[in-house]
Amino acid sequence: MRLQGKKALVTGASRGIGKAIALAYASEGADVAITARRADALAETAAAIRERGRTAYPVAWDLTDVARAGARLAEVKAALGGLDILVNNAGVLRLPADHPAPTPEAEWDYVMDTNLKALFFICRAAAEIMTAQKGGVIINLASDAGLRAAPHPYGISKWGVIGLTKGLARQLVGHGVRVNAIAPGPVATEMMGWHPGKPLDAPTLPLGRYSLPEEIAGVALFLASEDAAAVIGQTLVVNSANT
């Protein structure tokens, strides 16, 4: 097992990509803390982690409450007995990219507070833990929209995630902490407007279809494992025709 005995935190793990990553990590031997805004939303993921013989630690947390980041990560570390891996998966996309301008200020704040500001403060709290123990892995979920610098709040927030990933990687590599990002194209999730039974077809994508959450989880598993020991500060693009 590639993550035997590791302790991981996956944000936004009630469904979609976050859930798939949490289950992939548990299947490879990790104990996993998972977050969502509501505790009841995490019940299914937590049960599936435990079915795999691993510890699940659900945390009800609105990540935009950044003042609690340090305390929350300390709580996770205490509950699991360590923190080796952080996956910043939680993100929001409420208005489509073609939403007519001007973007409402409230929409800008909503997206930036979740996708970039919260991620920054969680990374900072994790970095304190991981530098002290001289090791760890941080994986940030970006997007191909960030690589295109798409001129809407979601794309700009993900551009920021990619830049933050590169900066943190340079800052932390000397402390034994690896930082990388994943930039998926469209994935078959509710956030992308996909629902079970809907076709996966997407002719403009290299695969000719949406990616599956489990395919993104496979990349996250690679980055968390020793197989990626020499991968630092990179953004791995998955099934995008727009880069």
- pLDDT tens for the chain, residues 1 to 243: 999 999 999 999 999 999 999 999 999 999 999 999 999 999 999 999 999 999 999 999 999 999 999 999 999 999 999 999 999 999 998 766 555 567 889 989 999 999 999 999 999 999 999 999 999 999 999 999 999 877 889 999 999 999 999 999 999 999 999 999 999 999 988 776 666 777 788 888 888 988 999 999 999 999 999 999 999 999 999 998 765
Domains of the chain: 7-238 (3.40.50.720)
Contacts of residues 22-27 at CB distance under 8 Å and 24 or more positions apart, as own/partner, are 22/49, 23/48, 23/49, 23/52, 23/217, 24/214, 24/217, 24/218, 24/220, 24/221, 25/85, 25/220, 25/221, 25/224, 26/52, 26/53, 26/54, 26/56, 27/52
Instruction: Name the strands in the sheet holding 56-60, side by side, starting at the edge strand that comes first in the sequence.
Output: 56-60, 31-36, 7-10, 85-88, 136-141, 177-184, 235-238
What pLDDT is stored for residue 140 in this prediction?
Answer: 98
What pLDDT is stored for residue 172 in this prediction?
Answer: 98
Instruction: Give the predicted TM-score (pTM) of the model.
Output: 0.95
What pLDDT is stored for residue 170 in this prediction?
Answer: 98
Are 177 and 135 in contact by the 8 Å Cβ rule? The answer is: yes
What pLDDT is stored for residue 57 in this prediction?
Answer: 98
CA distances from 35 to 14, 17, 51, 63 (A): 7, 13, 18, 9
Active site members: 154
DSSP state of 150: -
State how far the Cα of 87 lies from the Cα of 217, in Å rounded to an integer.
Answer: 11
What pLDDT is stored for residue 97 in this prediction?
Answer: 57
What pLDDT is stored for residue 151 in this prediction?
Answer: 82
